[in-house]
Amino acid sequence: MEIKKAMNNCTGNDAKESSSSHGRAQAWQLLTEWTQSESLRKHALAVESCVTAMGEAEAGRLGLAGEERAAFIELYTMTALLHDFDYERHPTAEEHPFVGVRELERLGWPLELRTAILGHAQYTGTPRITHLARSLFACDELAGFLTACALVKPTKAIAEVEVASVRKKMKDKAFARGVNREDIVQGAAELGVELDVHIAFCLEAMKKRAGELGL
């Protein structure tokens, strides 16, 4: 696939270019046009909260500031919002995320964003080279699992979810059985962080946006 061959050409300029022609508002509009399911929209927002926090941390590590920092973080935000935007219409492994990525390419969305979206699905065989791609993969399944952990609480509040209870639920194969535990573990490993640290990081990110997430 041409996008895979070109992925090594991704640079910081990709993020700068995206800020002028595409932004968070456009990503949300595209998501809502393609996705009517409230739960899928909430999942996109949950992943966005985690991946954006990853972008903020990475921007800080790189010493980015001003417009460069803003564009860098927005690329993470847009990627998270759009990672499953085609799923409702094209839920099979034969089509998702390939159909969505082709549409994103047609609309001129950044290559790094498209490559990361391909990489979040293991079966595409797309290497996760960038921190953005690794962040999306690491946060996708985990955000869904943390949401499930919150929804079984009497208050359905993410504020009541703790790392220890998440780890316990991960061992319960009957709980949220649609969530791939191996991807969660592998995602943390690819980021080079301990699993408990990764869970705590994403929990904190989701708690900050609990109202928006309905949690």
* Whether 147 contacts 50, CB under 8 Å: no
pLDDT digits (tens, 9 = 90+) for 169-198: 999 999 999 999 999 999 999 999 999 999
Quote the pLDDT of residue 21.
Answer: 76
Q: Which residue has the tokens 């690794």?
A: 134
CB atoms within 10 A of CB 152: 12
Domain coordinates in residue numbering, the chain? 13-213
C-alpha 210: how far from chain center: 17
State both tokens at 210: 């609990």
State both tokens at 25: 């508002």
pLDDT band at 9 (very low <50, low <70, confident <90, very high): very low
Say what the alpha-carbon torsion angle 26, 180, 144, 159 is, to the nearest 10 degrees: -140
Report the distance separating Cα 72 and Cα 67, nearest Å.
8
pLDDT band at 7 (very low <50, low <70, confident <90, very high): very low
Nearest to 202 by CA among 157, 142, 152, 160: 142
Task: Write the CA distances from 3 to 7, 85, 96, 132, 135, integer angstroms.
Answer: 6, 18, 15, 16, 19
- Is 215's pLDDT higher than 90? yes
Query: What's 159's DSSP letter?
Result: G
